[in-house]
Structure 1
Amino acid sequence: MLNIRKYALGPVQTNCYIIANAARECLIIDPGEEGEFLIREIRKANLKPQAIVLTHAHFDHIGAVDDLRDAFHIPVYMHKKEKEWLGNPGLNGSGKYAQLPDYSIRPADAFLEAEKATTIGSFQFDVVHTPGHSPGSISLIFEQDGFAVVGDTLFKRSVGRTDLIGGDSKLLLKSIHDHLLSLDEETVIYPGHDEPTTVGEEIDQNPFLNGF
């Protein structure tokens, strides 16, 4: 059974998830900010990070990547469609806001293949390409454990914004319908912001998905 820790971090309270197994190995998903805090939390829990996985490369999901990879000497995984975004404030969105510094992160170490079962360390999950919020958005499906980490694709009673670079509202809804609503209705959805939900709740109650 996997243990999931959720931390809402940074100026827009982006969810970082730390997923740990019984051996205390862990994956760090979307460390958006507050790197020193996350490092302390991981060490306090005696966890052994295996990798950082990014659901997409917007600034609020990547801010602490270099702090964590340097502290734990671990690789960073993402979708190749956004490989140029980490170091480019014009693409990752930080350049859009005068009150923010320009976020420039070193390149990813490896790229995840979508529609394929993936193993990182002892963790096994499916990677599905769910573009629409951004071109390289992915969702991580832990089917045996009954949950999915979906970045900013689907939220509780809402969906991801599509007014940023590469956003596409029709493609977003198609991604949600094809890859997320098709999961078991009891599957817990862990989004990039706000609280978890389930597939069944969103089928029944999400006003943006009424057409499905």
Structure 2
Amino acid sequence: MIIEKIVDGYFGVNTYVLGDLKTRKCAIIDPGASMIDILSVVKDKGLKVEYIILTHGHGDHIGSVKKIKAETNAKVIAHSDEKEILLDKRKNLSASMHCGPQEFEADIYVNDKDKMSLGDLRLSFIHTPGHTKGCMCIRVGNHMFTGDTLFAGSIGRTDLYSGDYKQIEKSLKRISKFEDNVAIYPGHGPNSTMGIEKLTNPYM
């Protein structure tokens, strides 16, 4: 498995390139970073982009989606409850961001517990509303991409459109049941593990 992180200089968003070593197929998770930087990593690793996967639809996480899709013809995946935000530049906040207004449909809408293959990798989607109503985490093996649901030592804000603190509390309680050795790859900030977050994150 290949996991590479690219950090956006404006909002500190973590974009991840997730690749399968055998087939060289990859997915780009939350492409808020520069398309040039992201595709440079893809090229350097000899990968082919199959999917663009969104943990949620805020502008800082989706700014390069349309550009990368135009270059690679990758299919965009999001949770079904995030459709409203993806289609509205005001609700996804992109209208006031450096990326400019972003409005688009995902090619594939998934729901809680749905699964898909990326080469020989098996991905599971976990609906974790709270930061937005369509937030989701993506688990592959002992690795989990948590978007803005769970950070190292903190959580995503819940005061934006469709955010709900009670919902994120439920989502955190749910994912806290996963094994301590599950590596956490958040939407902002450093990586962590589920075990560390259970011990040190006050929100867990």
Q: Same fold (TM over 0.5)?
A: yes
C-alpha displacement at 1:208, in angstroms? 2.1
- Match runs of 1:178-193 below 5 Å: 178=174, 180-193=175-188
Quote the residue 2:158 is aligned against.
Answer: 162
Quote the residue 2:57 is aligned against.
Answer: 57
Structure 1 length as normaliser, TM-score?
0.90
Q: Does 1:194 align with 2:193?
A: no
Give the residue type in structure 1 aligned to 2:86: L
- CA-based RMSD of the aligned residues comes to 1.5
Q: CA–CA distance in 2 between the matches of 1:200 and 1:44?
A: 33
Pick the aligned partner of 1:114 from 112, 115, 130: 112
CA displacement 1:132-161 (0-9 Å, x = unmatched): 00000000111xx31100100001110111
Q: Does 1:175 align with 2:171?
A: yes
CA displacement 1:163-190 (0-9 Å, x = unmatched): 1001111110110111x11110111111
CA displacement 1:91-130 (0-9 Å, x = unmatched): 10123x4x64542243211111212333345431211100
Structure 2: unaligned runs, 5 residues or longer: none
Pick the aligned partner of 1:204 from 181, 193, 199: 199
Structure 1: unaligned runs, 5 residues or longer: none
Q: Does 1:123 align with 2:115?
A: no
Quote the residue 2:102 is aligned against.
Answer: 104
C-alpha displacement at 1:162, in angstroms? 0.4
Q: Assess if the C-alpha contact under 8 Å between 1:32 and 1:62 holds in 2.
A: yes
Q: Assess if the C-alpha contact under 8 Å between 2:25 and 2:118 holds in 1.
A: no
Q: Assess if the C-alpha contact under 8 Å between 1:10 and 1:34 holds in 2.
A: no
SS in 2 for 1:37: helix
Q: Assess if the C-alpha contact under 8 Å between 1:3 and 1:19 holds in 2.
A: yes
Q: Does 1:72 align with 2:72?
A: yes
Give the residue type in structure 2 aligned to 1:187: V
Count how many residue pairs are aligned between Structure 1 and Structure 2: 203
